[in-house]
Structure 1
């Protein structure tokens, strides 16, 4: 038997020490009798013990005793850190861990120091232990955790802020939007994030918004702008919009914060001109985005009109189940009922309906109403349910991509020739008709002539419907002309109190029609307010309108609040002066 060490043993030991230094790890080896065989120089970095304690032959118990006496404690649970630790108990617990076949743990050995312990017991009985300082990694992980908590808290704060807030990246793409901003568009954050202003605004407005963004992005100078926005529900939003650049170079983002001053403006003043004076807004509120969707609003009304008005007024707090396989109908109804305070959800098939009611009954959950789409396949199987819940049926026929076409078709007969849209033939009408499209003054019935408050000159059929729906909702009598010549004829016949004049129309444009009305008024001594309706509020258009004798202008798309404000300004004010 040869107990003499190999001649190159010192070389191997030196290489092992060098490897430990490179890896910044301490390695300690014990034999099967728990006596020290090897300890790398790095071990003294981890354990403040006398160097002689790391000489070969030292017992494990003595090494652990020296570690305990140095004041170092590891392997202690958090609930025991503030208690007195018995020396022998601590040494025994460490020897027990030492004799496990494998032991792997990250343990705290000081106030802000963490060590990764790895122990392996070999079949020969030898124990190899490694120690690596992971304090920096632990600090980074802790900092990362705190950062995530701060981010979550910041997102919660932004989400619940009453002021709309939106963030764009360097490419002017939305990367975050809070609930108040999403409400302006009537859309979810998922529908906004990843898109740009061009997806939500007309080209002129989108370009103006992005010009402001690029200026702030380039200069870093914050900007403020007073804006008048039409929300998706048609209501007005007067806001002071602030833009800021934040972040590091190459990682800048644009943060837009909208300070809502609508309530203050409405409570303090009667019209926009006075609002500028009271709020001291230089230059006044500029007309910004119009998010109102008249088609969706019409769909919304047609669906809700099929439900009992009394039930809708008392729906708050009630539980309602919507059954439809049409996601568009589901979105409209669920959102409308929730907005009225109801607890509402939807299912999309007969099978889901039965499963939902069975689960609700098993859980003791009661429902107040079930709203069922008449077009749902096999709808008859749930019309008379076995749960004693009141059922309401709705008919959402044609609501969807062809909704507007269907609405127009219901009021007209298209000829086989003439224009691409066909020549409209007026159907018999009475003065009580909800709305009426006039195409030929000679075809108007005597009953249709009366006290017309508003004349709308508009050639686009969709816009005709929008105007009719808005004015009808206001309870205002009105007539619609499809071109400038017809507008002049209807003005002569009905003498309306207000004319909403589209600028671009066939046969005679709105500017020429306004001039002809003003010339006729010189003979009668009367003056009818004429408000221009333009697609884009260009300065040259506005000057032409004023030169033609028009009183004001509004831009498309129009909203109920916009029309109501114009009506109050010119019709109501005239009526008050007449009474006075």
Structure 2
């Protein structure tokens, strides 16, 4: 019996040692008298102490003394590490931590080594201490922290650049924009990120921009062009646009930098007093995108003309509250005052305004002006507020949908018998983009069918498939991401064929087809519309036919399928127009 016990204990000790090796952890066990019971060989990886120090029976104080003498100092706060450490004080502090019921800490050993200490005091009085090297984890965390700091710094630098800059992914969707680029369009990053240039530019500009993007993406060759852009506020922007491909294969991105040279340009070049050209651009600046929105500018002037001149020009540093339920008025006025360095926000009712004024008074915040939309119910209650804040009431007439209504009413007046334009002007729905529709049979050939196929499809993968097939067939096309955009592009390009997905956001394919058919009743034209469905259910087919569609195809599409549909509808239409 006496011969078996030591053998069994040796086996248990060996298994414990193997477990420590597998877990890459150092383990030390002390009894209730602070005498060493067990120390795994991994301990020597952490502390350069003599091996005989770790034999069973060694006192805790002696082990700690050997660790101190080896030059290792753990458990010292960062602000104390540069100061001399007393040996006995350090040993006493470590023994005190050793006797806690639980102790858990991450300690730094040396310059680039980190150890996770865990100590547990058992009810029997035994103490189990484990050491795990987490140096790699800490290095990764440190690297992540540095990367995040670099990213934050890079973003801050890009934001402060005076020249517009944008980054697009391999699908040509915007993934990064700076403040200067947003200012060109008069919008914010959230309205740009995740979208493509087709959502920001007119079709002609978008087609040109996308073509240069794809060329850089496919070839890796940098691109440069001198461009003249009209900003959203109507001012001129002269830029030298440069595009570069970055990233690894399969993860390429396009960086576009628009170097603002407006300060050096007057027309095609700027001249010094001596008459020397400061900037020469061969061929001059190419007319590029026009971001100016005449409707929004007209609405802005309608609103600002109702305010006192000093309320508009001398608002820097003042607090202005806008009371309106009209999102368009809120956007225009708040943006206008913020652009002039005023502190401005909006509320949407008399009740919200009164609560705002009360809270501001309680906080000791003084408001300089309240602008009230005359269409807000009971707005007169704000005029005689108890806080002495000046109030200006404005009229919402001609803002938002009212602006389009006024234009349509004027067109309807012009279309009466007294107007020479009466036979060509047609009213348009208020929700549509404003345009003047003419008799399509008298339009120039270039204005009818300049795009052969319009594809309405919201799925990016399917968009890519359609583009590849149509490009392979040599068929010009445009892609719309939803039904509303499809109707808009149909009005602009008058395509020979529309391939209409049924399930899309904003406006589905059924409603888009109905809107196109309603518009065609005014022109006497007919554009073939072929539904693209995910499954050939009878109800889907009937709904497509009821909406005025000519045919349907079922996904997944193939080049043969698209070519057959094109020959059946678009090619035949082209032959008739030629004849």
Counterpart of 1:161 in structure 2 is 161
Q: Helix, strand or coil for the counterpart of 2:64?
A: helix
Instruction: Supply the distance in 2 between the matched residues of 1:411 and 1:270 (Cα, whole angstroms).
Output: 43
Counterpart of 1:320 in structure 2 is 320
**Contact 2:269 2:279 (8 Å CA) reproduced:** no
Counterpart of 2:227 in structure 1 is 227
Instruction: Supply the distance in 1 between the matched residues of 2:198 and 2:56 (Cα, whole angstroms).
Output: 76
Matched pairs, number: 437
CA distances 1:26-81 after superposition (whole Å, capped 9, x unpaired): 01100111100000010000011000000000010000000001110000001110
**Larger Cα Rg: Structure 1 or Structure 2?**
1
Deviation at 1:168, TM superposition (A): 0.5
Counterpart of 1:212 in structure 2 is 212
Instruction: Supply the distance in 1 between the matched residues of 2:90 and 2:316 (Cα, whole angstroms).
Output: 64
User: TM-score, normalised on structure 2?
Assistant: 0.70
Q: Helix, strand or coil for the counterpart of 1:238?
A: strand
* Residue 237 of structure 2 is aligned to residue 237 of structure 1: yes
Counterpart of 1:369 in structure 2 is 369
Deviation at 1:280, TM superposition (A): 2.6
Inter-CA distance 385–6: structure 2 relative to 1 (3 Å threshold):
same
Gaps of 5+ in 2: 429-435, 447-491, 494-579
Instruction: Tell me whether 303-312 or 322-331 shows the greater mean CA deviation.
Output: 303-312
Q: Helix, strand or coil for the counterpart of 1:193?
A: coil
* Residue 40 of structure 2 is aligned to residue 48 of structure 1: no
Counterpart of 1:115 in structure 2 is 115
Deviation at 1:14, TM superposition (A): 1.7
Instruction: Supply the distance in 2 between the matched residues of 1:78 and 1:179 (Cα, whole angstroms).
Output: 41
Q: Helix, strand or coil for the counterpart of 2:266?
A: helix
Deviation at 1:202, TM superposition (A): 2.0
Deviation at 1:342, TM superposition (A): 2.7
Deviation at 1:3, TM superposition (A): 11
Gaps of 5+ in 1: 415-422, 427-436, 441-457, 463-480, 484-503, 512-534, 537-580
* Residue 343 of structure 2 is aligned to residue 343 of structure 1: yes
Counterpart of 1:250 in structure 2 is 250
More contact order relative to length (CA 8 Å, sep ≥ 6):
1
Counterpart of 2:550 in structure 1 is none
- Aligned 1:335-484 pairs, distance under 5 A: 335-397=335-397, 399-401=399-401, 403-410=403-410, 412-413=412-413, 423-426=415-418, 439=421
Counterpart of 2:293 in structure 1 is 293
Deviation at 1:374, TM superposition (A): 1.2
Deviation at 1:359, TM superposition (A): 2.5
Instruction: Supply the distance in 1 between the matched residues of 2:411 and 2:304 (Cα, whole angstroms).
Output: 22
User: TM-score, normalised on structure 1?
Assistant: 0.70
CA distances 1:469-512 after superposition (whole Å, capped 9, x unpaired): xxxxxxxxxxxx998xxxxxxxxxxxxxxxxxxxx98869799x
RMSD of Structure 2 on Structure 1 (CA) = 3.0
**Contact 2:244 2:255 (8 Å CA) reproduced:** yes
Instruction: Supply the distance in 2 between the matched residues of 1:370 and 1:302 (Cα, whole angstroms).
Output: 18
Deviation at 1:406, TM superposition (A): 2.5
Deviation at 1:390, TM superposition (A): 1.0
Counterpart of 1:184 in structure 2 is 184
Instruction: Tell me whether 227-236 or 44-53 shows the greater mean CA deviation.
Output: 227-236
Counterpart of 2:466 in structure 1 is none
Instruction: Tell me whether 190-199 or 334-343 shows the greater mean CA deviation.
Output: 334-343
Instruction: Supply the distance in 2 between the matched residues of 1:359 and 1:334 (Cα, whole angstroms).
Output: 20
Q: Helix, strand or coil for the counterpart of 1:279?
A: coil
Inter-CA distance 113–508: structure 2 relative to 1 (3 Å threshold):
closer
